[in-house]
A and B are shown apart, each in its own frame.
Chain A
Amino acid sequence: EAGVTQSPTHLIKTRGQQATLRCSPISGHTSVYWYQQALGLGLQFLLWYDEGEERNRGNFPPRFSGRQFPNYSSELNVNALELEDSALYLCASSVGQGYTEAFFGQGTRLTVV
């Protein structure tokens, strides 16, 4: 069974551009979580989607947004990129709402130059 897959693995963008990151959850999982891990910092919660709806949002500006598609895959969009957006972006999926085991993908390394 395939795990959580994220694409692309690496992404290099220029300041001010937009970045789109994608996540495919494990088959049967309806919840998708996005986390940011900047160099030397801990994992910060970004967004949680379940059954196509945004259920919770972390303390990030509105230029961080996303959506979940009918097949439960998800997209994270970062507009007006800033240098400090450079980080490893991790996606996780779980069955239902948070009281089941969460599984993470390998991440997308976003570099803003």
Chain B
Amino acid sequence: KQEVTQIPAALSVPEGENLVLNCSFTDSAIYNLQWFRQDPGKGLTSLLLIQSSQREQTSGRLNASLDKSSGRSTLYIAASQPGDSATYLCAPVGQSSYKLIFGSGTRLLVRP
């Protein structure tokens, strides 16, 4: 059974800092891994999708890496802004289940 852990659970930083959010998963048999953000009470917004054959994916100030063999993914946020404040979720898709399994998220607050 896939288990996903995200560290840290919460993070408060001043604007402008570069951030690292960590995601680990127990079953490396995945098709891909997605990173999402969720604003309070809202749905999820897809940030990045990394296929299992990829090591890295970039979109603007966001960069996600994947080390499938060790069951780890990292989301880097460069030059953080108050608008980045949200909960960030990672979700690998299992090869046997085809479903996204979510971690409990990292709650990020970027202070002006």
Chain A binding site: helix, strand, loop or mixed by DSSP? strand
Q: Is the CB of A42 within 8 A of B93?
A: no
Q: Is the CB of B46 within 8 A of A101?
A: yes
- A48 closest partner in B (C-beta): B99
Does more than half of chain B's interface fall in helix, strand or loop, or is it mixed? strand
Residue of A nearest to B105 (CB): A42
A98 x B31 contact (CB < 8 A): yes
Task: Write the nearest CB–CB distance from A94 to chain B, whole angstroms.
Answer: 9
Task: Pick the 5 closest A-B CB pairs, nearest first.
Answer: A98-B98, A99-B31, A104-B44, A106-B43, A43-B102
Given contacts A6-B43, A42-B102, A99-B31, list 19 more A-B pairs with CB under 8 A. Answer: A4-B43, A33-B100, A35-B102, A48-B98, A48-B99, A56-B99, A88-B41, A92-B44, A92-B100, A98-B93, A98-B94, A98-B99, A99-B51, A99-B93, A102-B93, A103-B46, A104-B44, A104-B45, A109-B41
Binding site for B on A (CB under 8 A): 4, 6, 33, 35, 42-43, 45, 48, 55-56, 88, 90, 92, 97-107, 109
